[in-house]
A = this chain, B = another copy of it.
């Protein structure tokens, strides 16, 4: 097979530890399936601020642009939280999304059977929850003009939320395509009773819907969606929404599954290029101890194989390996009921790689 280039940006905190296990799993798929990968490592986030004075060095960006896909660990930590804006890890995150044109963030939220009790939601409400949030990632209030000005009553701060028709079209189309491959139900979330950008969003989604007559479309106001996720999580299949609402709702959805430490995400650009990362953060409190759970990052590799490379066999094999290791009772500390039997990051990576 053709050699695929993966840019690896391990980042901060537990990032390097979980990424190392993901690479171990990728190497194993080379052996088993005959695929070939080449890794190039780049500095990003807090470590890049420390070593290079910027969260997103040019060569890291270039390395990502030259790659077929990006594997990201996690960025950030208290050390950089009070830095000025240009020297904060999240500025790098927003920068890389924009620079790579990653307009769509896919966040599957489902329940691992072995973790169903970890949720604060009742088991009978949660069981069967399996949804995906499709979040627009390079538009809206995140990227609109922001400034301060003197107003009639003193200083004012302004953020601007802008959406263009083509921006909504491409994310809507992607959401419909995903819905077609899943349960054929799409909830489009907006605040059309208040926001002009939401009215444009809704009109555009309705227009695109004409091309997907098989998909059942509902429009849900964002406040109502925040409620319905709690009341009837199993009723959702695909949720598509704009950047800011998606930030809030995807975190709510992930948390309610109780499996937040196990969930992966993909941020996609045009074509098949994508950046893959675990939903969890850099967890500075447990960094360097070898106890972090690498499963979310390993499952991000499965997403990469499926969405960027089309290696469905290897993607399914990774997912099956994770399931079999969990079914055999192996747990890292974060998901162990009996903490004394918990295994470490490397041991978990070894077990999953071996199960492929």
Contact = CB atoms under 8 A, between A and B. Distances in A.
B151 A164 contact: yes
Contacts of A148: 196, 200
A156 B163 contact: yes
A196 B157 contact: yes
Interface stretch (A3-11, A246-254, A345-353): A246-254
Contact of A226 (B120, B155, B251): B251
B160 A158 contact: yes
A128 to B, nearest CB: 13
B196 A223 contact: no
A6 to B, nearest CB: 28
A177 interface: no
A122 B122 CA distance: 5
A230 interface: yes
Contact of A125 (B120, B160, B194, B195): B120
A157 B120 contact: no
A155 B146 CA distance: 21
A161 interface: yes
Interface in A199-231: 199-201, 222-224, 226-227, 230-231
Q: How many copies of this chain are found per oligomer? A: 2
A157 B146 contact: no
Nearest to A93: B193
A143 B164 CA distance: 21
A281 to B, nearest CB: 10
A163 to B, nearest CB: 6
Interface string A63-93: 0000000000000000000000000101000
A143 to B, nearest CB: 9
A123 to B, nearest CB: 9
6 contacts: A120-B122, A141-B194, A146-B195, A148-B196, A157-B201, A224-B251
